[in-house]
Amino acid sequence: MIKDNQQPALVVDLGGTKIITAVVLPSGKVVSRNYCLTLAAKGPEAVTNRLLTAASKTVAQAKLETTELSGVGIAVAGVLDAKRGIITHSPNLPGWNNIPLRDILAEKFGIDTYIVNDASAAALGEHRFGAGKGVANLVYLTVSTGIGGGIIIDNKLYLGTDGCAGELGHMTIEAQGPQCSCGNLGCLESLASGTAVAREAVKCLGQGEASSIDGLVEGKLESVTADIVALAASQNDPLACNIVARAANYLGIGLANMVNIFNPELIVIGGGMSQMGDMLLEPARKVIKERAFRMPAQTVRVVRASLGSNSGIIGAATCVFEQ
């Protein structure tokens, strides 16, 4: 449990697009937050150097010495061997194979360091300080470029045997579906993520279907993103509405699976795509009612995350405070 007199934690959220570094208080308050691009294509060494520089700057901005910190918490968009503190691989961080990031930071700062998958961290953050407060069993899903997950069972983060449980985005829901970034076919991620939405739009536009998306990207198909499709859908563009409805349907299938498996009280949805709100979530809730067993479908509430882009760093800090 978090003790009142604990010192703040330094946290790093390493994603495929951006690195967030921050100092977090035991109350969950975020102070001295910095943000930089990951520039993942430059490889692990360059990214690690950028990360270490950003982390040091964040500690200095908070006017703290490292000895005044409880520890370092790292949230990473990758598959972890949590016991050994190693990132085994990551679809979004090219070249990050068996990188001992925990020990690199532990050596740099000389304090206790913990590493956790970013979606698991976000699940913990939302459970302790966000939309999941007071709920014993919940499932967290981040729907963004990819789809990640985190599982809270009996008020504890469930990490499994190696520390890599919760890969809910890599549940096959269409056995012969499109190839996913993980190599598998028909993962939830390959059908309902931001990447899937953008890919579907590009495919339809390439086939000559009419849509206001074309104007929004000035005919440049490579500029199509899920955000643009969402914008066009919010303006009632028929193609965009169909694409969002398709993703919402697949999201609902994935959520129905989680309802039948976990019988959770709550499912919390975070990530960029969750900003679509009920345009995405309302059809997904309907699919749960259609596909899952009646009792767990009636029980579960599906809500948006409430900590925004801070859920991961607050969760990583919680890992430090609760060790």
Instruction: Provide the binding-site residues for its own copies, judged by CB under 8 A.
Output: 79, 81, 88-89, 136-137, 149, 151, 153-154, 156, 158-168, 170-175, 177, 182, 184-185, 250, 253, 256-257, 260-265, 290-296, 299-300
Q: What minimum distance in Å lies between the beta carbon of 251 and its own copies?
A: 12
Closer CB to its own copies, residue 192 or residue 320? 192
Beta strands 301-304 and 266-270 are parallel
Q: How far is CA 190 from CA 144, 186, 196, in A?
A: 11, 6, 6
Task: Answer yes or no: 118 catalytic.
Answer: yes
Rounded Cα gap, residues 162 and 82, in angstroms: 6
CA of residue 228 relative to chain centroid, distance: 20
Shortest Cβ distance from residue 308 to its own copies (Å)? 26
Residue 63 or 156 having the CB closest to its own copies? 156
Decide whether 192 or 313 has the Cβ nearer to its own copies: 192
- Name the minimum Å distance from CB 257 to its own copies: 5
Cα separation, 317 vs 124, whole angstroms: 10
**Listed residue (263, 193, 265) closest to 226, CA to CA:** 193
Which of the residues 118, 227, 237, 278 is marked catalytic? Answer: 118
- What's the closest the beta carbon of residue 242 comes to its own copies, in angstroms? 16
- Cβ proximity to its own copies: between 46 and 135 the closer is 135
Q: Give me the least distance between CB of 237 and its own copies, in Å please.
A: 25
Alpha-carbon distance 218 to 152, whole Å? 44
Q: How far is the CB of 274 from its own copies (least distance, A)?
A: 20
Neighbours of 175 (CB within 10 A): 7
Nearest to 51 by CA among 108, 99, 12, 97: 12
In the three-class reduction of DSSP (H, G, I as helix; E, B as strand; rest coil), residue 105 is classed as helix
CA distances for 229 relative to 190, 240, 266, 270, 304, angstroms: 17, 5, 28, 18, 20
DSSP states of 135-147 as a string? Answer: -SSEEEEEESSSE
Which is nearer to its own copies, 10 or 151 (by Cβ)?
151
> Which lies closer to its own copies via its Cβ, residue 81 or residue 322?
81
Amino acid, res. 87 = I
Beta carbon nearer to its own copies, 235 or 323: 323
Instruction: Judge contact between 125 and 307, C-beta under 8 A.
Output: yes
Task: Select from 317, 272, 270, 306 the least CA-distant residue to 29.
Answer: 317
- The single-letter code of the amino acid at 134 is G
Q: Rounded to the nearest whole angstrom, what is the least distance from the CB of residue 197 to its own copies in the complex?
A: 17
Alpha helices in 263-310 (DSSP H): 278-291, 294-299
**Residue found by looking up tokens 């703290």 in the block:** 64
Cα separation of 136 and 277, whole Å? 24
User: Which residues are designated catalytic?
Assistant: 118
